[in-house]
Structure 1
């Protein structure tokens, strides 16, 4: 793994966002703009967001104009795309924010698909997902698969990262991990993060 210090992204923030940012000082916060998610931002307003942290907007199969409007409204630094977004859409969005494209690691990873997206995105994010739910499943990803991919863009690692397995992540060889992305393993309820667990992390 790279000697670079991994960044911390706390995703699915809502109910105690300000407290998390103050107490934990994460590098990145994830705001979910997918209405079917239990961590949907709902009535969270842009003026409630702290200025000293990078903002990631999470979307699932949203239209370009909708994503662009949220980039402008919430001053997003990144967009994280969890659906079946095309390379063309990713390239369009790069003019407005850094693009994180999410790929599932439940089964065999399609290297040709990853390479096809390489020029249209800034980061890969690997997580676990099922057919009923996009992200936030809490299931652990088989991270060892990543060491054979030889990707030219950095990786954000998700998929069940917890206190119990964080050392496994740290020991990964041959993987350029830009950030770890934590969510459901560090909360008391959807959108309500556990400050003590995050501090331990």
Structure 2
């Protein structure tokens, strides 16, 4: 049975979902996402939010020169540490009774920051938590979402996962409603006979 931890780093929050044995065991959320990194960058570089966001995106895409990228990495070190503490606290609440799955999947726009995966891949923070095995961190990609086919070929990044997952959920819900409606219709017909 499939077990994993899903970490969705959005603009304002980080959402963590724990799946054990194929079922959703629970979710946690804390208020630290990509905008906090953008605000830090704006303050440190003395630029506006929009310019800082553009720098952050280019940094995440590996499109900045080495010197600028190293400067931004240093700016984000403390924020990545604070973010990792939030993840650790959230997972500690999940692990009260059982081992944690060792697979961690990242998605959301903030997951593209190099310091995020680097922080999760460090071995120091995992020592305080009961993981089943050595932690493996990877990115969820659009190709990993079942039942949603991107005919536009525009969905390529981990930030596209959340809307695709929601679309998948809607499709499942609509399908369940049609099945339930059919069952109810047959039940009413049987009662009327």
TM over 0.5: no
Give the structure with the higher percent strand.
Answer: 1
What TM-score do you get using the length of structure 2 for normalisation?
0.31
Relative contact order, CA 8 A, sep 6+: which one is greater?
A: 1
Larger radius of gyration: 2
